[in-house]
Structure 1
Amino acid sequence: MSVNQYERAFRTWPFLTTRASQRSKVTYTELAEHLGIHPRPLRYVLAVIQDWCLHEHKPPLTILVVNQSRGQPGQGFIAWDATRLDEGYEEVFAYPWLTLPNPFQFAAQDSTPAELARAVINNPHDAGEVYRKVRDRGIAQVIFRLALLDAYRQQCAFCGLSLKAALQAAHIIPWNDANAEQRISPVNGLLLCSTHHALFDNGILGISIDRRIVCHHAKVPSQRWTDADKRIAADLHGQDVRLPVDVRLWPSDDVLAYQGKSH
């Protein structure tokens, strides 16, 4: 049975935030004893919390977990410049962590982002309920990406690129304008490579109501269209979007109509 690192992160969060409020570090051994595990797999738990802090632009909370002999974070700590650790500690100590809800609350009942993404894929209408269970933008974005990776078979909807490291989850109705369901539902998203995601977010590429790629040439002066520009953007105009096999996961008419009004 696989270990749920998010459930461990849920239990680690109050331990670390309390230590931060006390301006205190914690050793790997102490944290392992608190969780009831061996110190070695702590790196996986800390990676979950570190990723959340980086995504949410929060101080590097996991800087508090240190090697007993050296008094410094381990090699997996990348959230702060190792030559300026004292400044990092002050950032963490000064932050009002205890005013924040536990971002891993959803894992209290042993849920994982992968399980929640599968729930959204199996029934897109449950997306609002899943979002209300999570109520954290960083975790919601993880679930949204996992759902789109599944729905689009790990391929960019515009070019078919299947290198997972380059694939990103793009909202059609932007996060700030989306309701709870739209923030996490694949019907408000496209799986795009990083280049096409940037072009989409900047309005150079879009998707029509009949689900074809649209290139808004007016967004870029004509003299700047190089051969590479044409291959990557202009030549895609009018091509079909690579859609999920499950029609329920296609960008919805309502979402596409909103996008049309925004351009």
Structure 2
Amino acid sequence: MFLVDSHCHLDGLDYQSLHKSVDDVLEKAAARDVKFCLAVATTLEGYRNMRQLVGERNNVAYSCGVHPLNQAEDYDVEELRRLAADPGVVAMGETGLDYFYTPETKPRQQESFRHHIQIGRELNKPVIVHTRDARADTLSILHEEKVTDCGGVLHCFTEDTETAGKLLDMGFYISFSGIVTFRNAEQLREAARYVPLDRILVETDSPYLAPVPHRGKENQPAMTRDVAEYMAVLKGVSLEELAVATTKNFATLFHIPDSRLQSA
């Protein structure tokens, strides 16, 4: 079986007491059939540091971008374009809008979001979108910037079925994290049942949002297996079927050749 953690922050894990190294993290993941990870950046400096930490690996790809919560200072859009053009980068982001924590940076968030989509279209690389308390503006900007040209995923999905439908109409994929296992997440489970199997991804968003039964602990790529097991039950399919579908979806969205996954 082959599972992919479609969104993790390998630079954010606890390498002091929980993990010996990146190799250790990836070995723990592989032991639970999580054999490929997408390491996602939240700042340009963080992207460069993460590349240095993780290095070149068959089983790790990268995304490059500036998170909406990291808009307090300007960044160089040309540098974003240059870094994102690297062959090791398969996606833009994470980008998007978050009005919950920093509504005062709305204009800057929106401008940054547009830049990420525009560069994604130029480079033919999909966007990884974060949204919180910004549903209408997120959908509007995706539409206005013609995101269908490059595609994308709404990661760590926490919206409702109606929003899922609008994203699916744009050709988007929808990624589910450990939140789907939380006791009070019934609306999210309803959306998970609604999204077709050929548009679903699974992720950890580690080190955040550890799934049940690991709540309160640091999340890590190995726990993708817990999310996948839960999603398989929700979808009424076997774990193997869900693994095959989500791995195929990941490869299709991020233009990852089968040969690379097979060698991971």
Same fold (TM over 0.5): no
Q: Normalized per residue, which structure has more helix? A: 1
Q: Normalized per residue, which structure has more strand? A: 2
Bigger radius of gyration among the two? 1
TM range, smaller chain:
under 0.3
